[in-house]
Amino acid sequence: MSRATSGVEALRVEDLRVYYPLRRTLEEVLRRQQRYLRAVDGVTLSIPEGATLALVGESGSGKTTVARAVVGLVKPTSGRILLWGRDVSSLRNRELREMRRAVQMVFQDPSVSLNPRMRVGDQVKYPLDVNGIGTPEERRAMALEALRTVGLTPPEEFYSRYPHQLSGGQRQRVAIARAIVLRPKLLIADEPISNIDVSARAQILELLRSLRERMGLSMLYITHDLSSAWAIADSVAVMYLGKLVEHGPVEEVFSDPRHPYTKALLQAVPSLDERKAGGEVVRLKGEIPDPLNMPSGCRLHPRCPFATERCRREEPPAVKVGENHWVYCHLFA
């Protein structure tokens, strides 16, 4: 199910690294040493125009840092971010502003990302005000249109409400309306359903999916919830401790996961169906290690039941295991 029609890539991330410097101890200051937290450590991925990529992983995997780097909220330590083929770091002033407008983000918790004292309509209108688009009347009309698009109807009524007068799902719709009012081409959605009620989750996913169709959006969907990735994405990339472990088409990766980490993640999902007999059960040992003490070689090796001497020493290469399906694991090398 690929939506890539034009061959154009909306987003390309090349060997992205984001290291956060750590506060130094006195000894480190004296020795002129600096330690880093390697939040993202060499990630390459791409989203064809019109497609949705799910970036999945647990907390500490670096998935949110990737998103923040793409929208310019953190500065990459190295690597390139290309939007529609253009390196963001080469853009200046007007071009950069236009590019930023084309990429909008929806955050996890609408009760944090929305201003409690501002009418929701005004919040949706705000990006238009800031960018000085149209006349005041036109801006109001565009905000109303965005509210209607996200299903907050009648929009005139919702315009003058405050966030506390809305349900969690409705608040997330407001946040989405604010993100689409500038008519972006790429939407970054960072865990948009994890802080809302179960019955609203499918509604928000359905909304994102319909926006993609109606507005021709490309999407980077960040989540720890694999079943939502299944429902919404064309392809999936799995991250562990700052690195990719596997990526490929959703249907293929989820039906035939190769990396032990991907397998363990999929098997961890509580399931309505009785456990299928057979199939190799992968349980990883322990919990995610402290990212300040990153394991050598393959970062999963201390927890992986299949780890060999080689996994302890060498970083695994990218191995192609199917059409557009890659896995970073010595087992397949």
Partner 1 sequence: MSLLRVQDLWVRYRTRRGVVEALSGVSLSVEEGEVLGVVGESGSGKSTLGLAVIRLLPRSAEVRGSVLLNGKDLTSLPEEELRRIRGREVSMVFQDPYSSLNPVMRIGDHFVELMMEHGAAATREEALEAAGELLERLGVPRERLNDYPHQLSGGQRQRVAIGLALILKPRLVIADEITTALDALVERQIIDLVKEVKREYRTSMLFITHNMGLVAEVADRVAVLYAGKLAELGEVREVVSNPLHPYTEALLRSVPRIGGSRELRPIPGEPPDMRNPPPGCRFHPRCPLATERCRREEPPLVERGGRLVACHLRS
> What residues line the site for partner 1 (CB under 8 A)?
58-59, 167-170, 197-203, 205-206, 209, 224, 226-228, 230-231, 254-255, 264-273, 283-284, 287-288
Q: Cβ of residue 272: shortest distance to partner 1, in angstroms?
A: 5
DSSP H helical ranges for 181-218: 198-215
Between 79 and 242, CB nearer to partner 1: 242
Q: Cβ of residue 306: shortest distance to partner 1, in angstroms?
A: 16
Q: Cβ of residue 194: shortest distance to partner 1, in angstroms?
A: 10
Cα distance between residue 13 and residue 189, in whole Å: 17
Q: Cβ of residue 320: shortest distance to partner 1, in angstroms?
A: 24
Q: Cβ of residue 242: shortest distance to partner 1, in angstroms?
A: 15
Q: Cβ of residue 231: shortest distance to partner 1, in angstroms?
A: 4
Between 137 and 287, CB nearer to partner 1: 287
Between 50 and 79, CB nearer to partner 1: 50
DSSP H helical ranges for the chain: 26-30, 63-70, 93-102, 110-113, 120-130, 136-149, 155-159, 168-180, 198-215, 226-232, 250-255, 260-268, 309-313
- Amino acid making up residue 51: A
Cα distance between residue 123 and residue 110, in whole Å: 12
**Whole-angstrom distance between the N-terminal and C-terminal Cα of the chain?**
28
Q: Cβ of residue 154: shortest distance to partner 1, in angstroms?
A: 15
Q: Cβ of residue 265: shortest distance to partner 1, in angstroms?
A: 6
CA atoms within 13 A on the CB side of 319: 14
Q: Cα separations (Å) of 249 from 106, 220, 323? A: 24, 14, 8
Contacts of 140 (CB under 8 A, 6+ apart): 121, 125
Cα distance between residue 20 and residue 75, in whole Å: 10
- Closest by CA to 65, choosing from 76, 54, 80, is 76
Tokens standing for residue 61: 């995997």
DSSP collapsed to 3 states, 4-31: CCCCCEEEEEEEEEEEEECCCCHHHHHC
Between 123 and 223, CB nearer to partner 1: 223
Between 13 and 217, CB nearer to partner 1: 217
Between 142 and 147, CB nearer to partner 1: 147
Between 72 and 289, CB nearer to partner 1: 289
Between 12 and 201, CB nearer to partner 1: 201
